[in-house]
């Protein structure tokens, strides 16, 4: 592992000092910020998420705020999912596309009010995108980055921890719904969400000066359940089939290729960006699909920065877009973005650093 050089181009999060105190050892960058990616005990960090509860600095999930009389209109123009029934206090997982139907982000949309929305974004610049569209279409809406930084509490015991802090009402929150509240004077939105399939919440901190304080409130409250630090977990998210925008997608990926078709509503108005292209793609069919890849062998492979070519019967059929050692499956697994005529069960070869690795395609998720 190489070092990451300090630079003010890469902002620390409000939880940075707290994660230093927890012994963070590595970072990635995401939306021009630092995100912790390890605390020195990868196995413990994984099993804590699967069996207990883990707290994560996910402040890099930045908010693109749309506010003003045309905020609802802009939200719908940007999102390829029907938002007409979205209630205040509700969130929705959405696909943002460009005019060609290419996926440019997969945020959670949160409706805070009839004239205020957040897009809690993956790793691409949606401020520029939303501002360009708003200005070019003459919409009365302000696009901004508010002082909002999520802290995730994830795992089967997360509900107990969050209920012990905020009260039992959190147990009644439906998936992706949220409520504004506060704890120790710190303004927080509590949402049932998070980038794992182990259940949990995201606490949207709304005062960046209180990061360490909120981190420590969760840390103390979680002690009876054995809470510890963690981060969006590459192993768990690949096992459970969660998409990483920018990691598992490229400059031509559309939502249908990466199992997001169910979040696209083709009958929404024509002024939604990309919807006409998506109707055409749906009609004509996609060229690629996302399948699981189970690599033969029982030795963990080194993680890498590259995609790796997948070959079938001597010809390239796609790419392995991620790869991780699964602690539960005891196999190297990953996602393949492969030709539409590939199928689960196909035997393939992954070409990694010049070496062909025998593997099988399978349905997603793995677990």
Tell me if 6 contacts a copy of itself by CB under 8 A: yes
84 binds a copy of itself (CB under 8 A): no
Q: Does 246 bind a copy of itself (CB under 8 A)?
A: yes
Give 329's Cβ-side CA count (13 Å radius): 22
Residue from 37, 54, 55, 149 touching a copy of itself (CB under 8 A): that is 37
- Candidates 34, 153, 162, 190; binder of a copy of itself (CB under 8 A) is 34
* Residue 4 in the binding site for a copy of itself (CB under 8 A): yes
Shortest CB 167 distance to a copy of itself, Å: 35
Question: Among 15, 22, 24, 289, which residue interacts with a copy of itself (rule: CB under 8 A)?
Answer: 24
Position 32 contacts a copy of itself (CB under 8 A): yes
CB 348 within 8 A of CB 310: yes
| Distance (Å, whole) CA 144 – CA 147 | 10
Binding letters toward a copy of itself, positions 102-121, x by CB under 8 A? --x-----------------
Rule CB under 8 A: is residue 212 a binding residue for a copy of itself? no
- The residue behind tokens 């929705």 is 92
For 355, half-sphere exposure in the C-beta direction (CA atoms, 13 angstrom radius) is 4
Least separation in angstroms between residue 189's CB and a copy of itself is 22
Extract the runs of DSSP E, i.e. beta strands, from 168-283: 178-183, 186-191, 200-205, 228-230
Count of positions (residues) in the chain: 367
- # chain residues binding a copy of itself, by CB under 8 A: 55
Q: Binding to a copy of itself by residue 316, rule CB under 8 A?
A: no
Contact region for a copy of itself (CB under 8 A) — 57-65, 132-140, 158-166, 222-230?
Answer: 132-140
Quick one: which of 76, 120, 124, 289 contacts a copy of itself (CB under 8 A)? 124
Cis peptide before 165 (omega within 30 of 0): no
Three-state secondary structure string covering 97-147: ECCCCCEEECCEEEEEECCEEEEECCCCCHHHHHHHHHHHCCCCCEEECCC
Provide the token pair at 236: 């768990």
Q: How far apart (Å, rounded) are the C-alpha atoms in residues 328 and 336?
A: 20
CA 141 to chain CA centroid, Å, is: 26
Asked whether position 354 contacts a copy of itself by CB under 8 A, the answer is no
| Residue 164 phi, psi (nearest 5) | -70, -25
Task: Sheet with 116-120: list strands edge to edge.
Answer: 91-93, 108-113, 116-120, 63-67, 142-144
Bridge-based pairing state of the strands 54-57 and 228-230: parallel
Under the criterion CB under 8 A, does residue 15 sit at the interface with a copy of itself? no
295 binds a copy of itself (CB under 8 A): no
Q: In which element (H, E) is residue 7 found?
A: none
- 10 touching a copy of itself, by CB under 8 A: yes
133 touching a copy of itself, by CB under 8 A: yes
Exposed (0-12), middle (13-18) or buried (19+): which is 355, by Cβ within 10 Å?
A: exposed
Residue 279 binds to a copy of itself (criterion: CB under 8 A): no
Q: Please select the residue that binds a copy of itself; options are 12, 101, 194, 336, rule is CB under 8 A.
A: 12
Per-residue CA distances from 304 to 297, 323, 348, 352 (Å): 18, 8, 20, 10
Query: Using the rule CB under 8 A, which residue among 305, 314, 330, 355 binds a copy of itself?
Result: 305
Which position among 51, 69, 88, 132 is part of the footprint of a copy of itself (CB under 8 A)? 132
Interface pattern 247-266 for a copy of itself (x via CB under 8 A): xx--x---------------
**Interacting residues toward a copy of itself by CB under 8 A:** 1-12, 16, 24-30, 32, 34, 37-38, 98-99, 104, 123-125, 127-129, 131-133, 135-137, 145, 234, 244, 246-248, 251, 273, 302-307, 321-322
């Amino acid at each position: 592992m190489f070092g990451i050089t300090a630079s003010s181009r890469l902002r620390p999060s409000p939880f940075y000092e707290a994660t230093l105190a927890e012994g963070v050892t590595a970072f990635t960058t995401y939306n021009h910020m630092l995100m912790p990616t390890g605390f020195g005990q990868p196995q413990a960090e994984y099993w804590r998420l699967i069996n207990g509860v883990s707290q994560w600095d996910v402040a890099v999930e930045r908010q693109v705020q749309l506010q003003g009389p045309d905020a609802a209109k802009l939200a719908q123009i940007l999102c390829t999912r029907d938002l007409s029934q979205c209630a205040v206090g509700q969130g929705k997982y959405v696909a943002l596309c460009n005019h060609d139907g290419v996926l440019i982000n997969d945020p959670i949309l949160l409706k805070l009010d009839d004239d205020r929305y957040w897009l809690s974004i993956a790793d691409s610049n949606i401020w520029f995108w939303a501002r360009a569209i708003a200005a070019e279409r003459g919409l009365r809406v302000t696009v901004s980055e508010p002082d909002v930084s999520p802290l995730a509490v994830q795992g089967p015991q997360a509900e107990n921890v969050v209920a012990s802090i905020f009260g039992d009402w959190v147990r009644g929150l439906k998936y992706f719904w949220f409520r504004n509240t506060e704890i120790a004077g710190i303004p927080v939105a509590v949402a049932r969400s998070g980038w794992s399939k182990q259940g949990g919440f995201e606490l949207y901190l709304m005062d960046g000066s209180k990061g360490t304080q909120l981190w420590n409130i969760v840390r103390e409250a979680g002690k009876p359940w054995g809470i510890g630090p963690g981060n969006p977990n590459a192993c768990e998210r690949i096992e459970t089939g969660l998409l990483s925008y920018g990691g598992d997608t490229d400059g031509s990926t559309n939502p249908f290729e990466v199992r997001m078709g169910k979040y696209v509503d083709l009958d929404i108005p024509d002024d939604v960006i990309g919807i006409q292209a998506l109707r055409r793609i749906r009609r004509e069919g996609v060229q690629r699909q996302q399948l699981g890849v189970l690599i033969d062998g029982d030795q963990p492979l080194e993680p890498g920065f590259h995609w790796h070519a997948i070959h079938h019967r001597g010809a390239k059929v796609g790419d392995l877009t991620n790869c991780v050692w699964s602690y539960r499956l005891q196999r190297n697994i990953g996602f393949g973005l492969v030709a539409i005529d590939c199928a689960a069960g196909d035997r393939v070869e992954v070409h990694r650093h010049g070496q062909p690795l025998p593997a099988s395609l399978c349905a997603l998720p793995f677990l």
